[in-house]
Structure 1
Amino acid sequence: MARIVVLGAGPIGATTASRYAARGDRVTVVTRSGSGPHRPGIDRVALDVAAGGLGEVAAGASVIVNAVNLPYRQWQAGWPPIHREVMGAAESSGAVLALVGNFYVYPAGSSPMSARTPIDPPTRKGAIRARIWADLVAAHRAGRIRTLELRGSDYVGAQVVSTDGAHAGPRLVDPVLRGRRAAVVGDPDAAHTWTAVDDIARTILTLAEDERAWGRAWHVPSAPARSIRQVAEDVAAAGGLPRARVSRIPRPVLRLLGLAQPQLGEIIEMLYQFDAPFVATHEETTEVFGVTFTAWEETVAAIVAAARARITGGRARTAVGATQSP
């Protein structure tokens, strides 16, 4: 039985922690509030990682999963102290550090992206992620830590149907299932890679303990690219509805909305991911480790079931900030 520390209890953190616990491992979930899955095998610790103390929590751990997901507006000030503390805890404990990443580090217009695509981020947020990964790689090469990054695209799955910031979350799914028009960000017909939350968690469990994966980044296997319009149509079909209607939020309107909703304002910098094809490949991960993606139809069915359960149950939505991994 391994000891695992998972940082963050959002869709990725909670799902990953639950998978480790189901495997029989002892899991500690660390969040500022002490939240996390309530199930056997999982302990929850309230800790502001940026303020220190993670090294003590992580002592004796074999894997640390960094699934922290800050709201965009907090990245500039919030990520550096968290990153330093997590890297220090990995060094002091000897645990493998698995970082949940994204495709923000790649140049705009580089589709299809692979894990070998050169890092050249076109945005401030991408630059922050690139610096974090560069630090980890340098520490790994120096023999101070063992690390890897698992990169995925925008999240899909039953876990994000209550996440207001998710592009394939309630902002898209709720109107479709209610027969209304969904307002979307970017070109609704641009091809886009979507990564299932379950596939991210499964890839973490497989790669974190395989030394062949250490020291570099890997792409999480994801279903073939679908435009936002196609995602909406798939949700409608799975929900027994005749059609889905989507329309793009005009950029000037998005800017105005961003004045009242900072998260939407931050999305403007990321529009290049939705105004043109944003597609990634994952074949190397599958070839080396045998990890594959969940069938798209299965993911869509889970989305519809979870969304309808939430809508009819009247449960409040949970705002998680960014649409991707930290």
Structure 2
Amino acid sequence: MNELKKSRRNFILVNRSGKAPISNVAVEKCDALNKQDVVKVCQNASSIYHCIGLPYKEWKEKLPIIMDNIIESASRVEAKIVYADNLYAYGPQKQPFHEKLTYNPIGEKTRVRAEVSTMLMKAHEAGKVIATIGRGSDFYGPRVRNSILGERVFKHLIEGKKVELIGDLKVRHSHIFIEDFAKGLVKLCNEPQAEGEVWHLPHVEAKSNQEIVNMIANKLSVKPKYRIANNLIVNVGAIFNPFMKDMKELIYQHQYDFIVDSTKYEKIFGSHSHSFTDGIEKTIKWYKDNN
């Protein structure tokens, strides 16, 4: 929303509550699972940013319906779709993640992400809509609470609690500052040459989660303590705990280097990534201001 404000374009936030998290933003209530609702709210749109997030357990049933509703609504008014996506469709890979990789889904969550991305690109290829996909790894930054570098890291360090992470803390893992992701999506919307393609939005050089936690802790002048869910704990916990069951499919992301290659985007549109130092400072300030 902040990036759209900077662009000085008229926009409307659409969500289930009909309430905006920040002031001075037009907002409309809509059920994305109801095609008539989506068609109605998009009737005057020139661009549609699809940034809908759902709990893991709802992905298989609802994500394809939502994508179909957005494609249909966009096609009626010839609006461009900009889809904010993650890297799950690629599944485990033995190399940095780039846009030409073949999808390698290994379970329900990775499979449905591949399915909805393919739906959108096929609709573009068929001439039904104009679309582009912007992908990023795990977010961090202001307002990002439920992520690997969310409350369980920043807030816990500020409050003197144990940091909660999963997997091997020493493997490198790409993260993207939320403002950089948003800026990239707006850029893709505004650039005709972005249409019909997948783009990995700019990521800084990957660091291990341990390195990042140490950077945050040093900024706060604290010594980090950890509670780690390793591979064994995740596999055992998956028997009893729904969250751990979800993590079992995705643990590969934290067992081996998980590195995003955003060269394609940066060569054409340039890099606008926050350094970890700047991103961490902004995030700490937001958590302290919103505790």
Map residues 229-248 of structure 1 onto 2, 5 A cutoff. 229-241=210-222, 243-248=223-228
- Partner Cα separation in structure 2 for residue 149 and residue 310 of structure 1: 32
1:27 alignment partner, SS class: coil
Deviations 1:158-200 (A, max 9, x none): 221xx2x311011122332344432311111110000111011
1:200 and 1:115 map into 2 onto residues whose CA distance is 16
* Partners of 1:250 and 1:289 in 2: CA distance: 38
- Give the 5 Å matches for 1:145-156: 145-156=129-140
Code of the residue aligned with 1:133 in structure 2: it is: S
Equivalent residue runs for 1:58-207 within 5 Å: 58-160=42-144, 163=145, 165-207=146-188
Tell me how far 1:39 sits from its aligned partner. 3.2
> 1: distance between equivalents of 2:58 and 2:30?
18
User: How far 1:226 sits from its partner (Å)?
Assistant: 1.4
1:253-264 superposed matches below 5 A: 253-254=233-234, 262-264=242-244
TM-score (norm 2): 0.93
Deviation at 1:212, TM superposition (A): 0.5
Compared with structure 1, are the counterparts of its residues 38 and 299 closer, same or farther at alpha carbon in structure 2 (3 Å cutoff)?
A: closer
C-alpha distance in structure 2 between counterparts of 1:177 and 1:261, whole Å: 27
Shift in Å, 1:107: 3.6
Structure 2 SS opposite 1:149: strand
1:298 and 2:278 aligned = yes
2:254 to 254, 262, 274: 274
Query: How many Å apart are 1:134 and its aligned residue?
Result: 1.2
> Aligned letter for 2:29?
A
Shift of 1:252: 4.9
Amino acid at match of 1:200: F
Aligned pair 1:43/2:46, yes or no?
no
Q: TM-score if structure 1 supplies the norm length?
A: 0.83
Q: 1:29 deviation in Å?
A: 1.1
CA contact (8 A) 1:192 1:278 kept: yes
- Note the C-alpha offset of 1:256: 6.1
Work out the CA distance in 2 between the residues paired with 1:181 and 1:117: 37
Cα deviation, 1:43-66, whole Å, max 9, x if unaligned, reads 111111101221121122111000
Amino acid at match of 1:22: K
Aligned residues between the structures? 290
CA positional deviation for 1:204: 0.9
Cα offset, 1:259, TM superposition = 6.6
Q: Bigger CA drift: 258-267 or 210-219?
A: 258-267
Residue matched to 1:3: none
Q: How far apart in 2 are the matches of 1:23 and 1:139?
A: 28
Deviations 1:246-291 (A, max 9, x none): 3422445445655775334312210000011100111110111124
Q: CA deviation at 1:27?
A: 1.2
Higher relative contact order (CA 8 A, sep 6+): 1
Instruction: Work out the CA distance in 1 between the residues paired with 2:61 and 2:233.
Output: 28
Moved segments of 4+, more than 6 Å: none
Q: Corresponding residue for 1:225?
A: 206
CA contact (8 A) 1:171 1:183 kept: yes
- 2:33 match: secondary structure: helix
Query: For residues 21 and 127 of structure 1, what CA distance do their matches in structure 2 show?
Result: 35
Match in the other structure for 2:263 = 283
Unaligned 5+ segments in structure 1 are 1-16, 312-326
Distance 1:26 1:263, change over 3 A: farther
Q: Is the 8 A contact 1:112 1:281 kept in 2?
A: yes
Q: Structure 1's 213 and 21: CA in aligned 2 closer, same or farther, altered over 3 A?
A: same
Aligned partner of residue 11 in structure 2, secondary structure: strand
Secondary structure of residue in 2 paired with 1:21 = helix
Contact 1:177–1:235, Cα closer than 8 Å, also in 2: no
